[in-house]
Structure 1
Amino acid sequence: MVTRIAVVEDEDALGVLLRYNLEAEGYQVDVITRGDEADLRLKEELPDLLILDWMLPGLSGVELCRRLRQRGESEKLPIIMLTARGEESERIRGLSVGADDYVVKPFSTPELIARVRAMLRRAKPEKISKLLAAGDIDLDRENHRVRRAGREIRLGPTEFKLMEFFMQSPGRVFSREQLLDGVWGRDIYVDERTVDVHVGRLRKAINRGRERDPIRTVRGAGYALDEQFSATKSSARRAVERAQP
């Protein structure tokens, strides 16, 4: 849910197939059918990885890839290009404008998924790590467990996703709308005030006594995981690390 993949593909059937298989792997998927529309939307918000078709209406995939590489904010965006062109000269052209990988249609869906995983491991290792840590809080994605200073914290499914979302990007301020998209998904309507309710529940669960609140409220903007909290190791964690061989 928290790893976002944009698929720019004008073949409806293929777009549906890619969305289904990628969502089955736990990714949040946004399918765009035109190159010019993708260009505008990617200026507003970048995904973690882009799957880009070569031939698109409005703006070709090759030109879109070239533009993305010229922008500072997207110059390192992982891009996999899809195309029916299998000639060596065309593959070279796709890679020369900035694509990181190249898949020729028709392709094996499991192979594409494997390429996606491999690229995320290289470019966004924090997105696939099973364990996240911030300050004295540890989050285990695989077993859905959260601990603070060694004690178990019981979180509901939504609060767990919120904590995971914050811990992936310490210091970044997320608006309520961004939190709704990242945690609840774009296909579900939830009032923005619901975000405040669940952030309140999360704070109540993770904070005890005089413990420092790791979640920072930014007036008029949204919420963030305090980067100073994230950078601080607790004495409990230091003790555990010293005890390890």
Structure 2
Amino acid sequence: MDRILIIHDSPSVKAMLKFRLESGGFSVETVETGEEGIEKTKNRQYQLILLDYNLPGINGSQVCRILKEEDNTRNTPIVLISAKNEDELCRITKEAGADGYIGLPFEGKKFIEKITGFLKTPKS
């Protein structure tokens, strides 16, 4: 079973994402801050990381850059999550070095399809 880490500070968004993912057959863990997310990845392997761009403290872009430099997460797909408009999300995804983005709000079935697509994309 694929394990997904959600790094998001909103309890309601985290709960919704976790529900959707677990309903889709994924194992899900959640944390609230970028620092907690970085620490969690030191001891566990994840097949995908969903990362809020607008985290308090160290933001999603900074967290993404740090994780992409670490040996154990370098090849893990990282997907930014934000309510920003699509053009801005595309720009910040490229700047952060993330593998993709999902805009909020989203439709449940399409969300699971996107997640599955990120998991099937070969990493170098």
User: Normalising to structure 1: TM-score of the pair?
Assistant: 0.47
Q: Within 2, Cα distance between the matches of 1:48 and 1:59?
A: 22
The residue matched to 2:81 in structure 1 has which SS? strand
Question: What residue identity is the alignment partner of 1:102?
Answer: Y
Question: What residue identity is the alignment partner of 1:6?
Answer: L
The residue matched to 1:102 in structure 2 has which SS? strand
Q: Give 1:42 shift.
A: 1.2
Q: Give 1:75 shift.
A: 1.3
Q: Within 2, Cα distance between the matches of 1:15 and 1:71?
A: 25
Distance 1:89 1:13, change over 3 A: closer
Q: Give 1:94 shift.
A: 1.9
Q: Within 2, Cα distance between the matches of 1:90 and 1:27?
A: 25
Q: Within 2, Cα distance between the matches of 1:59 and 1:120?
A: 26
The residue matched to 1:74 in structure 2 has which SS? coil
Percent identical: 28
Q: Within 1, Cα distance between the matches of 2:23 and 2:55?
A: 26
Unpaired runs of 5+ in structure 1?
125-245
Alpha-carbon RMSD: 1.7
Q: Give 1:87 shift.
A: 5.5
Question: What residue identity is the alignment partner of 1:8?
Answer: I
Q: Following TM superposition, where does structure 1 have runs of at least 4 consecutive aligned residues deviating by more than 3 angstroms?
A: none
Q: Give 1:35 shift.
A: 1.1
The residue matched to 1:72 in structure 2 has which SS? coil
Confirm whether residue 33 of structure 1 aligns to residue 58 of structure 2.
Answer: no
Question: 2:11 — aligned with what?
Answer: 12
Contact 2:5 2:49 in 1 (8 A): yes
The residue matched to 1:63 in structure 2 has which SS? helix
Contact 2:82 2:89 in 1 (8 A): no
Q: Give 1:12 shift.
A: 0.7
Question: 2:41 — aligned with what?
Answer: 42
Q: How many residues align?
A: 123
Question: 1:137 — aligned with what?
Answer: none
Contact 2:53 2:60 in 1 (8 A): yes
Matches within 5 A, 1:74-93: 74-86=73-85, 88-93=87-92
Q: Within 2, Cα distance between the matches of 1:96 and 1:24?
A: 32
Q: Which has the higher contact order (CA 8 A, sep 6+)?
A: 2
Q: Within 2, Cα distance between the matches of 1:41 and 1:78?
A: 16
Q: Within 1, Cα distance between the matches of 2:57 and 2:36?
A: 8
Question: 2:104 — aligned with what?
Answer: 105
Question: 1:230 — aligned with what?
Answer: none
The structure number with the bigger radius of gyration is 1
Deviation track 1:126-162 (CA, whole Å, cap 9, x = no partner) reads xxxxxxxxxxxxxxxxxxxxxxxxxxxxxxxxxxxxx
Contact 1:78 1:123 in 2 (8 A): no
Matches within 5 A, 1:143-222: none
Question: 2:56 — aligned with what?
Answer: 57
